Structure 1
Amino acid sequence: MNQQPGKEQNPDEWEGDFDPLADPEERKVLFAALDSFRQYRRSAHLNTTHRRRQSFYALPSAHWDLLSKPPYSILDNFNQVDDAIDANAEIADAILSNGLEAFGLPANPDGGEDNPNNWHNTATGSDIGKAHSTVRQFYRDWSAEGALERDQCYKPVLNDLHELFGSQPHISVLVPGAGLGRLVFELCVAGYCAEGNEISYHQLLASNWALNHTEKANAHPLYPFALQFSNLKSRKQQLKRVMIPDVHPASTIAAQMAEPDDGRGMGTMSMSAADFLVQYASPSQRDTFDAVATVFFIDTAPNLIRYIETIRNCLRPGGYWINIGPLLWHWEDSKTSSKNDASQQSAADTDKHQGIGELGRVELTEEEVIALIHQMGFELVKKDPEGSSCGYIQDPESMLQNLYRPAHWVARKGPETC
């Protein structure tokens, strides 16, 4: 695995130009992410079982007494959920501990709000919600039980790359929105030079722990559905336990390095912590990658044209853009930017965009997305007519199934695009 400037790779190194502590706004966001993992245990107990116990005892006494006994044993269930929360919180605590060590921050800072390193009590409710969803996401990316969801989204990328490049060595692949790093890891194991990109500190902290700090496979119990009380067929379903990580990244890569070279060369893996639009639209990234793989990513764009411009910039001429995912536009319900907001941007600011936080947004249909990539210098070389349905951190036994039918296509950057 290669360490690159500005990339997360070595367990104890966050080097290069990535220094969120040097910028007040970045430090604030990082501190909130760290604090949200610290508060995972307390918030989960409070909002899951504590309030349910209060509501349970508010029932008529004859009713809660009935439901306290078998076959219901509701109070026993609350106790079991509490135990599951504590198991999940151990993962959150491990992520926090490694994050504090990586950034040289104290676990118990002194001095209150006047201390610039006091990260306690900086998380909002939204931050804490992200910590909860990040811990739960380990089910999808790092458990054996999540393999079905991964296979429906990651295997097509690997198959496409094999069809496009065969056994060519040193094929570089960028994965924007890399999340918990599983696809980056799989690409590395398959022999590609994989670079993940992620803007979320929640995801970066968690992926750093999974990739660099877990000690062995199946070391940590996770209860991904313990906090859910609706659409359950049984309490056993709610308290389902999985073990993470299903593979140990360091051991897997070490074993691969010990094998004879098949001529393709070893895969490499790195992670950039940056705004995708700012990092990869720069002249220094022009014509850098042989392929870009966007998996459940393009619908995070307020303005998809910016994403396409950035992908076009960092792809080599003739390089391939592989896309898998739905169009659940993440900014659809956000506050609309006003004319007054827009007028505050100078012409220079408009030309030099401000990354994901740029004003304006638009939601496109799949037909419009395809037309746009054609118009912006890409040739569509493959499109699955009907993608298979898949969930996203979906309990397969739930009485409610939320399924996507993600689009899957491959586009080639034309040699004359500019």
Structure 2
Amino acid sequence: MADDGGRESGSSYDASDPLSDPEERRVLSAALDSFRQYRQAAHYNITHLRRLSFYSLPSAHSDILSEPPFSLPSTLSAVDEAIDSNADIAEAILEVGLPAFGLDPADGSWKGQATPNDLDKARSTIRQFYRDWSDEGSAERHAAYSPIFTALSTHLPANRPADRHRQRVLVPGAGLGRLVLDLCLAGYTVEGNEISYHQLLASHYILNYTSTAGQHRLYPWALNFSNHLTRAHQLQAVAIPDVHPATTLETTAADTQSSVHYSERMSMTAGDFCQLYRQAEYEGSFDSVVTCFFIDTAPNIISYIETIKHCLKPGGVWINLGPLLWHFESTPTPAEREKNRQSPHGHSDSTLSTNTNSHHSARGRNEGIGEPGSFELANDEVLALVERFGFEMLEQKPAPETGYIQDPTSMLQNVYRPAFWVARRR
């Protein structure tokens, strides 16, 4: 991740040097260390502690549960194998992430930095590969992405794949990079943005360093023992990635017949969306901004609206799909943050939310999403606010119902009914 102002062409990433700021270095180190600790922490918390509880049962009970059809010791051994397979992914992410930031694996300065919250984020990130990079997760992607692609075809002038390179699309909160890849495959010039080091490291690996489709076996549900109809459902494995990015880009290039190579049409930036895209160089830069399961990460959505308006061209379209699970609704109070600072196991002062899907950065702690204050709006209020800031609402309708990293066989189903709308900057 070379230092060239936070942006790089192709499918890899850049950021202004995070190692120059001590707090930023700590946040990066914690993310890296959480992938390093994935194997050991998962074995301890998921299976070791359960074994201790199991063998604390009366022997008559543990004997029954050791036999078929229960065979709980065998189940724990199978979960251990699943943890090892997931940990192979975590360690592959770490292996390419260290040199990407110029860190020596032999240098121990980045080790031992992960908090319990960082370990939760590493587990969540590994599990997110199910949604973004498995064939089984395609139903969730289709529900979220199909309305977006239809809207782009409807509201941007370049409908032919060969002409779409003229349309620049920005994807804030790009996560593991799948929407960015799919937009590039469709012919658009696309730039993703992400602030979470966990997500950046994982997407950097999957986009640039996997060697073949189906390279890894991911067990997305193995670490959770609740709401399974059968043990086989808990131990389901999926192959990731479902497509090999480089091969798919090469194959699709002939289909799109674009005069601009995909390496010049796909890029990622690392950093706070508001801080970065408020800069003068981004004014009027994009034909479309696509926010997918993103706007509810804002403590102050006005800042997001102002930033999107700044970087959209006049007449450009903002396409939004997602729920309003406001990530900062449970932000710790000042007293709670002070308690966390004083606790060796608490979250750092720069952590703005305990939700593992929320993103934070040490960089610019009093700017961007680090600005003080937060509020939550209903969907109709969001729409009114968007129009108040000079957008014309072109479409507004419910999106298809969908889960988010949802086990389709689980006895507990969480279903979103996302809002979908398209607004044009006047």
Code of the residue aligned with 1:18 in structure 2: it is S
| TM-score, structure 1 as length reference | 0.89
Q: Write the distance in 1 (CA, Å) between the matches of 2:19 and 2:13.
A: 11
Q: Which runs of 5+ in 1 are unaligned?
A: 111-117, 342-351
Given candidates 300, 306, 322, the residue that maps to 1:325 is 322
Following superposition, the deviation at residue 59 of structure 1 comes to: 1.0
Q: Please show how residues 8-407 of structure 1 align to structure 2 within 5 Å.
A: 8=8, 15=14, 18-109=16-107, 118-165=109-156, 166-167=159-160, 168-169=163-164, 170-257=166-253, 259=254, 262=257, 265-267=260-262, 268-336=265-333, 354-384=367-397, 386-407=398-419
Following superposition, the deviation at residue 283 of structure 1 comes to: 1.6
- Identity in percent: 55
- SS state at 1:292 partner: strand
Give CA-to-partner distance per residue, 1:342-362, whole Å, 9 cap, x none. xxxxxxxxxx97111110000
| TM-score, structure 2 as length reference | 0.88
Give CA-to-partner distance per residue, 1:106-157, whole Å, 9 cap, x none. 22325xxxxxxx1010010000100000000000000000000000011211
1:264/1:152 CA distance change after superposition, 3 Å: farther
1:260/1:244 CA distance change after superposition, 3 Å: closer
Tell me, yes or no, if the aligned pair for 2:7 and 2:270 is still in contact at 8 Å: yes
1:353/1:55 CA distance change after superposition, 3 Å: closer
Following superposition, the deviation at residue 52 of structure 1 comes to: 0.5
Given candidates 384, 409, 412, the residue that maps to 2:424 is 412
Tell me, yes or no, if the aligned pair for 2:10 and 2:267 is still in contact at 8 Å: no
Following superposition, the deviation at residue 388 of structure 1 comes to: 2.0
Q: Write the distance in 2 (CA, Å) between the matches of 1:150 and 1:14.
A: 23
Q: Write the distance in 1 (CA, Å) between the matches of 2:27 and 2:295.
A: 23
Code of the residue aligned with 1:405 in structure 2: it is R
Following superposition, the deviation at residue 278 of structure 1 comes to: 0.1
- SS state at 2:128 partner: helix
Q: Write the distance in 2 (CA, Å) between the matches of 1:9 and 1:180.
A: 17
Q: Write the distance in 1 (CA, Å) between the matches of 2:271 and 2:137.
A: 27
Following superposition, the deviation at residue 253 of structure 1 comes to: 1.1
Tell me, yes or no, if the aligned pair for 2:147 and 2:399 is still in contact at 8 Å: no
Q: Write the distance in 2 (CA, Å) between the matches of 1:220 and 1:65.
A: 36
Give CA-to-partner distance per residue, 1:378-398, whole Å, 9 cap, x none. 0100011x3321000000000
Name the residue aligned to 1:347.
none
- SS state at 1:316 partner: strand
Q: Write the distance in 2 (CA, Å) between the matches of 1:260 and 1:406.
A: 32
Following superposition, the deviation at residue 14 of structure 1 comes to: 5.3
Code of the residue aligned with 2:196 in structure 1: it is S
Tell me, yes or no, if the aligned pair for 1:336 and 1:360 is still in contact at 8 Å: no
Tell me, yes or no, if the aligned pair for 2:321 and 2:399 is still in contact at 8 Å: no
1:183/1:10 CA distance change after superposition, 3 Å: closer
How many residues are treated as equivalent by the alignment? 389
Tell me, yes or no, if the aligned pair for 1:41 and 1:85 is still in contact at 8 Å: yes
Give RMSD over aligned pairs.
1.9
Code of the residue aligned with 1:401 in structure 2: it is Q
Tell me, yes or no, if the aligned pair for 1:224 and 1:241 is still in contact at 8 Å: yes
Following superposition, the deviation at residue 299 of structure 1 comes to: 0.2
Tell me, yes or no, if the aligned pair for 2:318 and 2:422 is still in contact at 8 Å: yes
Q: Write the distance in 2 (CA, Å) between the matches of 1:336 and 1:51.
A: 32
Q: Which runs of 5+ in 2 are unaligned?
A: 339-364
Name the residue aligned to 1:345.
none
Following superposition, the deviation at residue 23 of structure 1 comes to: 1.6
Q: Write the distance in 1 (CA, Å) between the matches of 2:206 and 2:258.
A: 29
Following superposition, the deviation at residue 162 of structure 1 comes to: 1.1
Q: Give every structure 1 segment of 4 or more consecutive aligned residues whose post-TM-superposition deviation is greater than 6 Å.
A: none
1:229/1:353 CA distance change after superposition, 3 Å: closer
Name the residue aligned to 1:113.
none
